[in-house]
Amino acid sequence: MTDFLKGLNEEQYKAVTAPDGPAMVIAGAGSGKTRVLTYRIAYLLNKGVDPFNVLALTFTNKAAKEMKERVMTLIGNDAANVWMGTFHSIFARILRFDGDKLGYTSNFTIYDSDDSKRLIRQIISEKNLDNKVYNPSYVQARISMAKSALVSDEEYKKNAEIIAADTAAKRPLINEIYTAYNNRLKRANAMDFDDLLFNTYLLFENFEDILYKWQNRFQHILVDEYQDTNHVQYMIIKKLASNNENVYVVGDDAQSIYSFRGANIHNILNFKNDYPDYQLFKLEQNYRSTKIIVEAANKVIANNKDQIEKTVWTANEEGAKIGLIKATSDTEEGNLVAGTIFELKMREQQPNSAFAVLYRTNAQSRSIEEALRKRNIPYRIYGGLSFYQRKEIKDLLAYFRLVINNKDEDALLRAINNPSRGIGKTTLEKVMITADKAGTGLWDIINNPGHYGLPVNSSTANKLKAFATMIKSFEVVVKNKDAYDAAHHIAVSSGLIKMYRDEDTLEASNRLENIEELLNSIKEFSEQGAERAEGDLEGQGTFTDFMQNIALLTDADNEDEENADKVMLMTIHAAKGLEFPYVFIVGLEENLFPSMQSISSRADLEEERRLFYVALTRAMKKVTLSYAETRYRYGQLMMGEPSRFLEEIDESFLDIPRQARVVAGRDFRRSEKTVISSAPSKRNLKPVAEQNISNFEPSDSEDIQTGMTVEHSKFGKGKILAIEGAGPNKKATVFFSGVGQKKLLLRFAKLRIVSN
């Protein structure tokens, strides 16, 4: 029965064959985490567990697909019936079944990040608020964090601490935007990504019969990347597993790097408290990297206090020492990195795709891109605009969404005059006003303008009714044709294809090619529908299935579009889960990596160190680190000190260039260990030329906001990183060039605003 387990090492075997009950597998970098999860599922099915009773949660569709294919290879087609997918896709399925308890129909629309931001921007405009103060991205993030913390719009407006924080940030009306946003989503029969989790929790919290049904269904719950779960994910898992506690989590606390998305490392650190009788397994053998890389990474992460003790090791070769590039500027850094890639390509006869350049922030890619272009080395930015975010694709998808769900007002407003049908902005404003007065949706007004007394002439009313009639005709086509034929009919009959053909430009030609590629993907999806059938789950390749599939794509899933031979450029956050033979980690300067926002808090600094650990462990053969003595930041040329993380790598692992070794005692090697301090020090960035600031009038402290550049009579220019408190207790955290980070009481600080 267990012949397929013979390829596992001893610890993997123990983890895979663990008895029922709570279990946690701590999987070090490159230790075969996916292999263990895959074999665990196969093991459960092989010993007689019904696949319909197994739930496996991942963070990307790509990971779920890979795992399912592996399980099917091991034990056959039974694996197709396992409930396996991302948190969002699995919970969306549950809400399709039971969301009516919360007032949704089963054909609800899922809004992606762009859809949500567009709706928020519209609400801000309708309320006549300043979109610079109420920045849509900021408001979106604020609402998202509230939902992830299970704070509803009603609870938000009643929470004095939250309202005080918004008021102190001069954004006191976020609670009103949150409420309006939720109301508009509900009216559109739509949920955003956060709602898929939030509403699932509400369903389980408020309807015991529903919770019991799903607890009974999921006899075994497996969770990938448990260290990346946020509060609401943690709570849902805890509810589902509370019946029999057959919860099996896999992760690595040392790779917890997504706190900015709400991930909580304490979920994995406190698993032992949630399930006192849990079993712990440690996968410590790294199959990916050389000894040098593994041991260097171990030295770095050992500096963190909050961690589960483990010792990662490898039987791989010793490998090359870690390269170190010291550059005088960020431009020279780019040139030296590009030159090193070129030399390694030639010497080692490696393809471009063997190389990855990782950085802390997206802005750092500029100098690397310029240097690679000069050497004619092809590259790709990982995490750029995805296929499904392109305008022409979003335009056609808006028609698809509207056909499935007439209440989807975001889709309606995008499609109704695209191509132009003579239905202008003024008409749509009248439609929205009429809908608000009548207490109904936009579709009802457009479908029957006369009934609701829409104040437009007969010509305009006929245009609106003609659009509604067209959409209803598309509904008939979707019901009677397969997904591809229906999609093709809509693309042609909507007028989108004709519009781009008539433009007759290179850009329009590219847009037509992208639409054709979308139709091709629908064709492939519908033809493979039978292979994806999941028992009583919907997944037969229908038009609706396709729309849900693309709505739930993650950033990582969107990166399968191109497999050309190119050097990969990406942030370290985007690199999680990937591996490359040669990795370059650039910008290793204090206040850049670690970031200046992280150095005054141990928890934040430890996350930065975990981020560096993740970067190091992406490499298979060789790592090269680089830093620059000067770099343009905030419009100023700044002096930089090497990152403290460089000091944490044992010198025996480093190939230190001569120019760095000359001043090794000062350049990046320090006798004293890392200290967490916001006090000024020689390690902080310094401007090349100090400015003498004098004789200026301070600004009103109430006008000072986060993100502004300010001046202080003693400390010079600085950037406002955060503001807390209110009235006479209002404080600002400011980063001053050449001085460091300061926390100032604004009523005494006497700061002058330089720019917004």
Which residues are part of the catalytic machinery?
33-34, 224-225, 255, 618
User: b vs e for 637-653, b when ≥16 Cβ sit within 10 Å of the residue's Cβ?
Assistant: ebbbbbbbbbbbbeeeb
For the record, the structure tokens of 462 come out as 């006929």
User: Among 304, 253, 302, which residue's Cα sits nearest to residue 282?
Assistant: 253
Chain centroid, CA 128 distance in Å: 30
Residues 6+ apart with CB under 8 A from 389: 114
With beta carbons less than 8 A apart as the criterion, state whether 270 and 234 touch. no
Q: Are strands 709-712 and 752-755 parallel, antiparallel or unpaired?
A: antiparallel
- For residue 359 the two structure tokens come to 């950085």
Pairing relation of β-strands 322-327 and 619-628? Answer: parallel
Closest CA to 674 of 618, 608, 738, 721: 608
Distances (CA, A) of 323 to 61, 119, 332, 589: 35, 48, 16, 16
Which helix (H) or strand (E) element contains residue 152?
A: none
Helix or strand run (H / E) with residue 252: none
What are the beta bridge partners of residue 324?
A: 625
List helix spans (H) across 439-560.
442-447, 458-480, 483-493, 496-503, 506-527, 543-551
| Cα separation, 528 vs 535, whole angstroms | 15
In the structure encoding, which two tokens stand for residue 330, read together?
Answer: 């960020």
- Please provide residue 566's backbone torsions phi and psi, each rounded to the nearest 5 degrees: -140, 150
CA distances from 225 to 222, 244, 264, 418 (A): 10, 22, 12, 42
Backbone phi and psi for residue 70, each to the nearest 5 degrees, phi listed first: -65, -40
